[in-house]
Structure 1
Amino acid sequence: MEANLRWVLLTAVAPLAWGANYYVTHAYLPADRPLWGAALRALPAGLLLLALARRRPHGPWWWRSALLGLLNTAVFFVLLYLASQRLPTSTAATVMAASPLAMLLTAWALAGQHPQRAHLAGAVVGLGGVALTLLGAGGAVDGAGLAASVAAMLVSCVGYVLAARWRDGADPLAATSWQLTAGGLMLLPVAAVVEGAPPAMDARTLPAFGYVTLVATALAFALWFAGLRHLPAGTVGLLGLLNPLAGVLLGVALAGEGLGARRLCGLALVLAGVLLGRPRTRPPAPAAGPTGRGRSPAVPSGRRPTS
């Protein structure tokens, strides 16, 4: 019992770290450096996890890691960075909390994985909660930030469908390290050409980048996958709900964002939708990507929390 409680507490660090990442990115990282922000998050964390996993890609996993690294790391991290910068922390966290529901619908459309009625009901309820949250955000919602959130979800969904098809032959932590490393390497030359030199590190940005890279990425993924080895998938999936809750609470407590009745109801509907969308059985574990977020109760085995 004590061992299970210890693993619950350790695993809970991951979604809490991912939820706090919205606030740290919004408050402390440079708004005009999304490419460098994503690269400095992905590559060091990928190398750390690669050293921990002690496995290199093999066979088709060389090109699979490159493709998934492009989708699940390079593109996703840039879009998530933009969304975190342009939307209030609580709004970004609530919108991205609907990612598992979007993944459910994408898997249905692209992979023919027919959801049950309860899953569809959860998707409707959760997406309705997102709409209610946006209406209760107060003032005009930044269109570019909202578009970045939606694009991030769509990219992550496609990456998830591919990772689920290629789940055999790779440990999830090792596959994540390959994708983070590949995505970070892809981002480096693009960031240098488009954004110039890396952002200057000072007393404000250096600890923030350290948190995003070491805590919200390397440590969070290591604890998440360790928890999946020691806890039931349903328990880990429920812990994933701490992600949006942490983002909303930090936005309210530290950024002074209002939490009106409409926004609160929207968050409640999103969480209810995710709970309804949880699978009732445990399928084989996919080779999870770093989004996986992500990501989460509506995804098989809760393996893709939004990051």
Structure 2
Amino acid sequence: MKPDQSSKLKPVSTRIKWSAYAAYIGTYAARDWGIWEELGLDVTVREGGPQVDTTAPVADGTDQFGITGGDQLLVARSKGRPVVAIAAIMQETPAGFVVHADSDIHSMKDFPGHRLCVIPGHNTEIQYRAVMARLGIDTDTIEEVVHFPELELFLARKVDIEPIYVNNQGTIVRAKGVASRTFIPSEYGVRSYGNVYFTTEKMIEEQPELVQRFTDGLLQGWKGAREQPERAMDSLFKYDRDLDRDLEFDKLRDTWPLVEEKHGRIGWMERERWVEISEALKAANLIRPDQDTDAAFDARFVTTHYDSANS
């Protein structure tokens, strides 16, 4: 549904998890190509960062929408933030852990006795703690080093294990020619959705039509980026001209396997996956044992988008 183009655009903002890069290319396409504007929305895209919990500004009304990990969203709800997932762009989390190829670490079971870089509150930390709990490993046996600059300590060999996104820092490590091994939490039975778009319970209750328009534009933007990656990359570079275009295309190529269109539909969410994520976090004492998983997501907006497109 497209509103009268003469009507005033509704200003809203969405907060990405990090600075601009290829993992958010569909968001920038939706903004730059006028897709949201055609749906009556003037969307401002705000950046996050390693120390920014995007659920906070959405919960307090600073932003209307945001991006986080499925695991992070459940942790935020455990803290009382009434945030609700409306679309999961990545069917798998990009979180991983990299070690140098000559390391004696050949599995996440080998983490004890080594130095691990930790970003507090980041979903790499959540994934790390969930995997260690599943493996029965006491994290006191691992030296945790809190550090934010990307890859600095790892490349200098001052930490043994670096948390990464496989489609960002993982891509950079490969581009630098650093021989390495990467461990993925799903290989140890811990999975999560990545790049989950969310809003608040209040927004869904009071303005569901606005949430639908935002979701429609978002999914159109991601579909467009999939079909026209060069044009979408041009849109991304309007927001950060200092990016390396070849590197960003490498990151984009590493992003698409995570997106993995479920049933041919970008953004799809299923209850079974949310329960799986929730149970892993409960087992690791990262969220409340009585937490209501069903309240954490609302799949109707993605479902309505595709139902309307096929009707």
Answer whether TM exceeds 0.5 for this pair: no
Question: Which structure would you say has the larger Rg?
Answer: 2
Between Structure 1 and Structure 2, the one with more strand by share is 2
Structure possessing the higher relative contact order (Cα contacts under 8 Å, 6 or more residues apart)? 1
Structure holding more helix per residue: 1
- What TM-score comes out, normalization by structure 1 length? 0.28
